[in-house]
Amino acid sequence: MNPTEVTAKLPPLLKVEGLLRRFGGLVAVNKVSFEVGPGEIVGLIGPNGAGKTTLFNIISGHLEADEGRIEFDGSDMTHARAPRWAKAGVGRTFQIVKPLTSLTVLENVMVGALLKNKPAQARKQAAAIVERVGMGPLMDRLAGSLTLESRKRLELARALSVQPRLLLLDEILAGLNPSEIEESIHLIRSFARADGLAVIMIEHNLHAVMSLADRVVVLDYGVKIAEDLPKVVVQDPKVIAAYLGSDDE
């Protein structure tokens, strides 16, 4: 059975209704609505400037919407700030990775784990996460000495440290080579399928989106222009025009 069919039988974990965010006269997110179920992977795609990261910032409490409503696990989170989102079970990565460079890999992950655990348990949980993302041999390495690929893995581990039920991944695959991308795809899929995590991923690598996503949401100039299965979305004339331009232009 398709994972989307399974999650469709469950109440949505995240419910976004009519979100709108303005910056002065610019409408960055314009009446966007969608839902995400447990264990579901949703790709969030669109041209540069489409409003994808702004939408992530609203969902994770780093920005507040001017209009609309957000529910997470049945609770109204519309005006919640980032700490409440983290405690509720939402972890996110950032497009520009900024680890705590003077701390080790393990210590970086412990920072998030301390949100819900005492120090001894936080260390144990952080070590398990570091192993899970394949960074066991680098556990005691200073974060400032890591390669880009390892910094991306650390960013994922930090997002997992809050024991999330929903992961927001902002271009976690950007800058990686093909083999690193394939490894990351396998890892992300395992969190959704084995652990039941809901995942929303912003990604410009359409191959990765097609490989991973159960469903794709497409934004253009802040407006949701499509939402469907990956194979349907890539054939949508509105999506093609948004990425490639219209013949009428």
* Residue 63 contacts residue 42 (beta carbons within 8 Å): no
Which of these three, 163, 180, 201, is where a domain ends?
Answer: 163
Whether 45 and 117 map to the same domain: the answer is: no
Give the whole-angstrom CA distance, residue 94 versus residue 170: 5
Q: Extract the tokens encoding 120.
A: 């001894």
Predicted confidence (pLDDT) per residue in 63-122, tens digit? 999 999 999 999 999 999 999 999 999 999 998 888 999 999 999 999 999 989 899 999
Q: From the CB of residue 246, how many other CB atoms can be counted at a distance below 10 Å?
A: 10
Residue 94 lies in a domain: no
180, 126: one domain: no
The tally of domains found in the chain comes to 2
156 and 189 both lie in a single domain: no
Q: Are residues 200 and 249 in the same domain?
A: yes
Q: Same structural domain for residues 106 and 26?
A: no
HEC profile for the chain?
CCHHHHHHCCCCCEEEEEEEEEECCEEEEEEEEEEECCCCEEEEECCCCCCHHHHHHHHCCCCCCCEEEEEECCEECCCCCHHHHHHHCEEECCCCCCCCCCCEHHHHHHHHHCCCCCHHHHHHHHHHHHHHCCCHHHCCCEHHHCCHHHHHHHHHHHHHCCCCCEEEEECCCCCCCHHHHHHHHHHHHHHHHHHCCEEEEECCCHHHHHHHCCEEEEEECCEEEEEECHHHHCCCHHHHHHHHCCCCC
Q: What is the pTM of this model?
A: 0.89
Same domain? For 104 and 187 the reply is no
Instruction: Report pLDDT digits (tens) over 188-231.
Output: 999 998 889 999 999 988 888 888 999 999 999 999 999 999 99
| Nearest in space to 66 (alpha carbons), one of 23, 95, 100 | 23
Q: Which two tokens stand for residue 78?
A: 């519309």
In a domain, 114, yes or no: yes
| End-to-end Cα distance, the chain | 42
Q: Would residue 77 count as lying in a domain?
A: yes
Using one digit for the tens of pLDDT, what is the confidence trace for 111-148?
999 989 899 999 999 999 999 999 999 999 999 999 99
Domain of 113 in residue numbering reads as 99-163
Q: What is the CATH number of the domain that holds 72?
A: 3.40.50.300
